Structure 1
C-alpha cells in the first residue's frame, strides 16, 4: 500500500489517498511485465510485409541465352534471385504475430507496472468542471502547477472520457489521455510522468483488482 498526496486545480495539497494493488512477487515481476509488454507490441504489428519469390515475379519464362558457347555463366531465367528484378530468397510473407497471454497474467502485469510508477505519479482532484470549453493553455498551466514538465511524456488518466479535456489535451505533444478502465502496459511504462485523478485511482483499484 502506498499513500499519495492529492493536489487541487491550483496545485495545493488538499488531502491523501491510498493505492493498494496486488502485484507480482519481486522475483517474477520483471518477467511477467516483460511478457505482457512483448505481447502488446507483437499484437500491434500488422504483419503485412510481402515479397515475391521467383515463381511470383512477372516474366522470365524464356531462357535468356543458350546453355553453352556464349562464354557467359549459365542462366535459366531473368527472374533468378541473383538477377536485378528477380525474386527474393526467404523474404517476408504476410503472417500473424499475435501472442496469447491469459487474462489473469495480463492484469497482474498491468497492476505490477502501474504500482512500480508511484514515484512518478501525481494525483489530483477531478478537474473536468474547470473547462467550460476546450483550452490547451489552461491545461498546460495546470500541469505546470502540479509540478510536471509539459515537455515530458505524460500519461493523463481520468475517470470517464471528457470532451473538453480531450480536445484540450490532444494538441499537446507527448501527452496521452486514457480512461481508467482502458490502460495499457506500454503507455504506463513509457510515460515520464503519470497524472491521475483521485477518482480514477480508485477506479483502477476496482477494475484491475485481483478478484475480478
Structure 2
C-alpha cells in the first residue's frame, strides 16, 4: 500500500496517508486510457464547420458566356468550384463527432490514470485548501512553498466548489480546479501534478473505491 505525506498550506508535514490500492494501484492500461481520452476530446468538438457546395452558393444560374467562338475555356456557371467565389468541393459540413463511452471504461481509464500519476509521484495532499478571502498572493505564495514553477500545470481537486479558493487561483497560469466527482482520465493526464485536499481525496476514494 502506497503511503505519502500530508502537508499543511505552509509546506510542513502534518502526517501520512495511505492511498487506497483499489484507486491508486491499479493496472495501467495505456490502450484504454488512449481510447477514452480520444473519445472525451471528440465529444468536446462542436462540429459546426460548414462550407457551401456549388448548388448552395448564390447566383450562377446564367451561363457566363457562350459556348464557342470566344477564345476562352467553356464555362457553365460562375459558381463552379474552380472559380473564385464558387462552391467548395468536399468542404466540411456540420456533423456529430460524439463517441459513446461505457461507464465501466470511463472508470477503468480514470483508475489507470490515477495509478500512473501516483506511480510517478505526481500526487500531493494538503490537509486543507482554503482561504478566508479571495487573494491571489496567498495562493501564489503557497505554490512557491512547494517549489512549483509557474509553467507547471496543477489540478487542485476539492470535495466541493470553493469560491474563495477558485478566485484566489484562477489568475495563476497553469492552475485549475475540479471537484472529486468531476475528475476523469483527460483532466488527470492533462495535469503535471494533482493536488488533493484531504476531503477531496476521501470523496474520490469513496466514489471509486
The two structures share one fold, judged by TM-score above 0.5: yes
Q: TM-score, normalised by structure 1?
A: 0.92
Cα distance change on mapping 1:74 and 1:43 into 2, 3 Å = same
Q: Are residues 1:135 and 2:135 paired?
A: yes
In the alignment, the residues of structure 1 paired with residue 180 and residue 143 of structure 2 have an alpha-carbon distance, to the nearest angstrom, of 19
In the alignment, the residues of structure 1 paired with residue 139 and residue 77 of structure 2 have an alpha-carbon distance, to the nearest angstrom, of 65
2:191 aligned residue: 191
In the alignment, the residues of structure 2 paired with residue 63 and residue 48 of structure 1 have an alpha-carbon distance, to the nearest angstrom, of 33
Q: Does the 8 A contact of 1:4 with 1:18 survive in 2?
A: yes
Shift of 1:49: 0.1
Q: Does the 8 A contact of 1:148 with 1:193 survive in 2?
A: no
In the alignment, the residues of structure 1 paired with residue 85 and residue 37 of structure 2 have an alpha-carbon distance, to the nearest angstrom, of 39
Name the SS of the counterpart of 2:205 in structure 1: helix
In the alignment, the residues of structure 1 paired with residue 170 and residue 160 of structure 2 have an alpha-carbon distance, to the nearest angstrom, of 16
Cα distance change on mapping 1:39 and 1:92 into 2, 3 Å = same
Residues 83-92 or 12-21, more deviating = 12-21
In the alignment, the residues of structure 2 paired with residue 181 and residue 91 of structure 1 have an alpha-carbon distance, to the nearest angstrom, of 40
In the alignment, the residues of structure 2 paired with residue 100 and residue 190 of structure 1 have an alpha-carbon distance, to the nearest angstrom, of 21
Shift of 1:24: 5.7
1:18 aligned residue: 18
For these two proteins, the number of residue pairs brought into alignment is: 205
Cα distance change on mapping 1:11 and 1:24 into 2, 3 Å = closer
1:116 aligned residue: 116
In the alignment, the residues of structure 1 paired with residue 110 and residue 116 of structure 2 have an alpha-carbon distance, to the nearest angstrom, of 10
Name the SS of the counterpart of 2:149 in structure 1: coil
Root-mean-square deviation (CA), in Å? 1.4
1:1-212 matched pairs, under 5 angstroms: 1-20=1-20, 21-22=22-23, 25-26=27-28, 29-118=29-118, 119-128=121-130, 131-209=131-209
Give structure 1 stretches of 5+ with no counterpart.
none
In the alignment, the residues of structure 1 paired with residue 81 and residue 27 of structure 2 have an alpha-carbon distance, to the nearest angstrom, of 52
Name the SS of the counterpart of 2:68 in structure 1: coil
In the alignment, the residues of structure 1 paired with residue 129 and residue 169 of structure 2 have an alpha-carbon distance, to the nearest angstrom, of 13
Deviation digits for residues 125-162 of structure 1 (CA, Å, limit 9, x no counterpart): 1132xx22111111111122223224311111111111
In the alignment, the residues of structure 2 paired with residue 176 and residue 132 of structure 1 have an alpha-carbon distance, to the nearest angstrom, of 19
Shift of 1:204: 1.0
In the alignment, the residues of structure 2 paired with residue 12 and residue 73 of structure 1 have an alpha-carbon distance, to the nearest angstrom, of 81
